[in-house]
Structure 1
């Protein structure tokens, strides 16, 4: 689904120019074009948007006043000012605008601003999903995790996770090419994982069933599960019988 943008400018040719400049951007859709702040407010009452492209100098109500209104919304859109007047730049950034573009708008410059906005919106969407994942989990088992780290968030499909291992107050998510730290405990996470897909082999370790090549006995009388990719993981005495039965298709694993 495309991100939505509202164009607010009192000059018709300026609105047309912005719409045409946005046309090549497949991830953006123009929701509406408004000739005034008042008409934009009316539109936004029933049509929230992701970003507002806003002129500064307009009759009756300026873009800066409109920005103050937007900032009070429950979910305020991002704001990019597009104006012929350079002198309002400081005021625009005081209004927490994402960017400030001088008209006549350079298409490349506009595209840079929209790319920056898209990154922020995608991160915001991931953050919202991450919060909901723990505060209001969807019914059924999880199919993905939102993993937060310094300066970024990653969406991880559980189908790509080979095994999960406790690491203090975190778990390590082991994928084929990388390992990610996710802030939760294994005890908490296992409640949301499908036991037909993940198998507990140790109090500290869950493995993905379709990643397991076999159960092997070691010379020291211990057992390991061999995973695709060449990794072997220990199977504790508590779990080895249940693991053996599960791999033979006889019983679910002990949690």
Structure 2
């Protein structure tokens, strides 16, 4: 039995979600809460496997509650349900399992249920907890040791030390490893804040490289600069980051 709670300050929102979930086999509603404080009390009385959580609520937002839950030894899966699409990046930063927009689409809800069932059924909950705890630790230390990359029913741990360079891909980032590339659901600007500046260097608005991968700086075409990495990758260098790259190579000021 999958136990869940619904957290939404608006009664119609709670009712709509409750009705939509009633037909889900093996899912049991444990509590309905109109605030983050009420949800905290409900979870203290009886832990849940999944929390359907609104983001914009009076006094305390769903994002604040999600961050708090993520620091617990055994956090529940978080599925955000909101009328606003502007918080999607923030939601995935706290490793929400999914992000549903109101009015809830039956197909998207079914996908979220499938992801939750897969995560719980394939015994991936421990990996999910590790991802939450890793993010919580990174927000305090401003550095992290591993990425936790999610797909349906699975979380893969990618060590930061194995990443050779990173490239922006919209609200995602490509993690370039020795043998493959992994797509991670965070923007490059946010990832940069969690990397150690003594290990990584930004060379372009779309690229960050590992410092010990830098091998050569070249002038190409009409005066543009390009850096060559030990792995063979060749990346554009912007004027804004040129001096930092020269310093990395040992000839700053030239």
Structure 2 length-normalised TM = 0.49
Structure with the greater alpha carbon radius of gyration: 1
- Alignment TM-score, normalising by the size of structure 1: 0.49
